[in-house]
Every structure is written in C-alpha cells, then in structure tokens.
Amino acid sequence: MNSLPAENLRRRVAELLVLRASGHLSDQQRRYPQWELPNSELQRLLQEGVGGVILLGGSAVELQQRTQQLQGWSDQRLLFCADVEEGVGQRFEGASWLVPPLALGRLYQQDPELALALSERYGSCTGDQARRCGLNWVLGPVCDVNNNPANPVINVRAWGEDPNSASALAVAFLQGLKQAGVLGCAKHFPGHGDTASDSHLDLPVLPHSRERLEQIELPPFRAAIAAGVDSVMTAHLVLPELDSQQPATLSKAVLTDLLRQQMGFNGLVVTDALVMEAISARHGAAEAAVLAFEAGADLILMPADADAAIDGLCDGFSSGRLPLERLEESLQRRADALASIPGGVASSPIVTTADQALEAELVHHSISIRGEEVRANTGINLVRVDALLPSAAALSGWSPALRIPESQGFRSRVLHGDGLSPWSGQPEAPLALDRLGDGPVLLQLFLRGNPFRAGRDAREPWTAAIQQLSTLNRLAGVVIYGSPYLWESLQAVLPSGCPAAYSAGQMQEAQHQVLTALFPSAAPAGGGGAFTD
C-alpha cells in the first residue's frame, strides 16, 4: 500500500485512540485531573481526529450533555464508553446501580434459570440507560473467572467463580446489551481471575499451562466470541507459557496468535488503560502504543500521553515497522462496530419503573439475613467505607445505612478510606472503645475488594474486632456490603443468634432492604423496599 500524506496519516492514527475525560462539563469538576484531560486539550484532540472517549464522574443527566458537547467537537461519530459493569449508576449518579455480577454467579448455583433471566435484564437495563446518556459502548461483561478469592482486582466484578457460570451469565448479559443497541466488551483477555496482584499497581504473572487456560480462563471468552461480542479488552499480565517477555496487552502470541487466529475473533481488540502501572512503569507512551498495536490491538485506551502515542504510531507506520494494511483493518473494524448500532440518544427517561424494579429484585436475591432482629434501642453505628466506594451517593446523609440506625437511637461513626482513628493498636482488642463511646455497636462494613487498594482492606482486623465486641457483650449486629468472602470468613466468629446480614450490593436499595429486616420497626407501614414477592 502506498504511504499516506503525513497529515492524513495522523488523523487516521488518531482514530485509534480512546481518551479519558471527566463526565462533568467543566474543568474545575474533574475528579482525577492527572488522567482526565482539560476541555481545551480534549477539543483539540477530537478536532484532530481522536475517535473515542471513556468517561467517569458526574450525574447521568450531566453525562447526556457531556457526550453531546464532546461529539460537537468532532466531525466523525465517536465511540463513547464507560466502565459501567454494574449499571450506569455505578459511575453516574441518578442512573441504576445494580448488584455486582458475582451475586448472580452465586444465584446461578441455586437457580440457573432465574440467574440467566436476571442477567439478560441486567444487560438490557445497562445498555438502555447507557444509550439514554449518550454512551454507545459498555466496557463489560467481565469474562474473568474469579476462582481465586484473594484476587484484589476482579473479585465481585466477575460473573462467576467457575467457567460454566461465568460463560453463561456473561453471554446473557451480552444478549441484553444487543437488545439495547450498544456495543459490548469481553474483558480482561485472556483472564485476570486467578491473579494475586493488581495490574493497576503491578504486573501480575499467571503461571498456568495452555491446558489449564483452556479449562478455566478461556471458556468465557470463547462463549462471548461465539455470541458475537463486539470487542475484547486485553489484560496487563504475563503468561509465561505463551509469552515470557511481554504482558498480554503487548504480546503478539496472545492477541494475534491466540485471540485472532486460534480463537477466531474478528472484532475490535482494545487495550486496557495504558496509564496503569503494569504498562506505564515499563514503557513510555509512544512505545506502549506501538507495542500494543504491533501485538494485534486495534484501539489504544488511555495512553499516558495522547500526542506521544499518535506520534509513535505515525513513526511506526512511516518507517515500515507497522504495516499500513493493519491500520486500515483496525479502522474498518471500528467503522463496522459503529455501523452495527443505532446513532443518537434515546429520549425516554434515564430510569424507568422497570429499571427500579430490577434493581430491587436483584438486591432481594443477593442478600442473606441470619440471627434475630437488632434488640438494642441505642448505641453506636460504626460504618467502615472502603476507599473506592463506587458512588458517593451510597453513603450520603440520606442513606439508609445511617438514617435507619439513627432512627433507632444509634449514633453514626463513619470511617472513610484510611481513617482508622478508632484502632487501638492491640491485636486482640483492636477497637479503642473509649474513643467510640458507650453502648452496643452495630458494625456495617462496605468492603468489596477494590482495585488500587493492594489488599489493604483484607488485612484489617475485623475478626478480632467482632470477637472483642462479643466478649464485652457490646455487639448489636453485623452487616457486610460487598465481598462474600469477608462475609463467609466472619460468620465463623459471630455469636449464635447475633443479628447479621450480607448484601452483595452497596447501594441505597440494598441498605434499605437489609436494615429494615434487622430493624423491622423502622420499615414504613405496609411494606419495606421496592421489591415484594
């Protein structure tokens, strides 16, 4: 193929990039300015041909305006995506925030037919609301098999803990997305579920044989490909059996030989964010983009420096290191993906009554209540919130986790992030109870195994804290929101009859259903949550 003029080449290369932007309209509202470009830079890059934007933050209504603003800065149809694995409300307030996918993976073991039906509705709800907000690409489903409970990065984001449930539920979710008319993305290829470290912070190694990969990691991706998934996202991890030198994102053996040739995937291959430490700590922005494209990626997500990535790719094509035929193939895949879905923004309300019913129904099927109702009529409501609770609205002043116990005489004490002032430093009695005050303690833990935490939450001494409170007869009750593994580990030390509950979800609907079960007198006359059998 003949070479392209430099200006034309640069515009076409720029189409391959997907840049991070705040969902807020103004620069001053950016939550992560180190990753989210200011509007002046976004406008310039979109006018120069950049083809996609990944968004985070703001309300769902603001997102509608934001996607229209960004599209107005470009003369081509843009890809608009977000990590809305748990519904649009996970990232954008005012939309539906659904229970983590692993809740349905657990339900699948008892009632697979119900779990599959709910997963398809889950995908349809997510896709419909995404379209109403201007998004056309949902970065889900997670196809990783969370067969390692200690996994610090996947955890409750997976659809299953075994390949059968993960495959079936991911495909059902994809069917829902297709009904809604948005693109889907199977991630993180070839499987991030059995890693002990977080690729946001380090470069994990998955030391498994090809035979083991075929048994555990690859089946959900094969199922998603067979179901016609539009895109596959790469994982920043090393599989020595396939490529001992490069992580999957930068490995031709993984992306071209395995994914393209052996597994027959012909859709878009998108990198995971190249700003993650697993990549950025080892390669500059230009070289990372070139290596990823050389390996078989089509789209470059969140390069550390957009201009450097474009320059590096242009140099690669001009020098012959990268064949121009590959550029045309990637651009055609992008065009085909966009042509397969409707344009425009759906005009219906962002959240429908059917969406509200689904959110409540999913919560209903993913909570567990044991023991008695809370008997104390005064005490301390001690709430631990992990550093990256997906939505600040989950624990506002109106949240049931605060409001319901307070209505029953409990005084709220909230520990955000690493605010551990109530710790005593004594392993056997970790809570400094003199700092908390008198009375029984209702313990509510919002802990789900978040990325970026490097497992720090798992090392907090909640087992000893429960034993301490129990010994002193000061344990009013325990509620776990998020990690089923924490719930399972703590059940062994809960006193018989102790009021206790688990909810996979952390949203206000989950708080309401759990706490009206533990505090029946707090439930409004005539009913509890939005869902009833």
Residues with active-site annotation: 200, 272
Contact 52, 81 (CB under 8 A): yes
Cα angle at 64 between 22 and 482, to 5 degrees?
65
Bridge-partner residues for 431, per DSSP?
Answer: 423
Whole-angstrom distance, CA of residue 423 vs CA of residue 436: 10
- Per-residue HEC secondary structure of 131-154 comes to HHHCCCEECCCECCCCCCCCCCCC
Whole-angstrom distance, CA of residue 408 vs CA of residue 338: 53
Residue 241: count of CB within 10 angstroms of its CB: 15
CA 221 to chain centre: 18
Residue with tokens 């990268």: 322
Whole-angstrom distance, CA of residue 527 vs CA of residue 505: 21
Closest CA to 220 of 309, 138, 306, 158: 158
Contact 279, 249 (CB under 8 A): yes
Contact 79, 134 (CB under 8 A): no
Both tokens of 309, joined, read 């990535």
Contact 98, 125 (CB under 8 A): yes
- Per-residue HEC secondary structure of 199-236 comes to CCCCCCECCCCHHHHHHCCCHHHHHHHHCCCCEEEECC
Residue 439: count of CB within 10 angstroms of its CB: 16
**413 by DSSP, 3-state: which?**
strand
Write the DSSP string, 237-281: -B-TTT-SSS-GGG-HIIIIIIIIIIT---SEEEPPPTTSHHHHT
- As a whole number of Å, the CA-based R_g of the chain is 24
Write the DSSP string, 31-96: S-TTTSPPHHHHHHHHHTT--EEEEE-SBHHHHHHHHHHHHHT-SSPPEEEE--BTBGGGTSBTS-
Whole-angstrom distance, CA of residue 440 vs CA of residue 457: 24
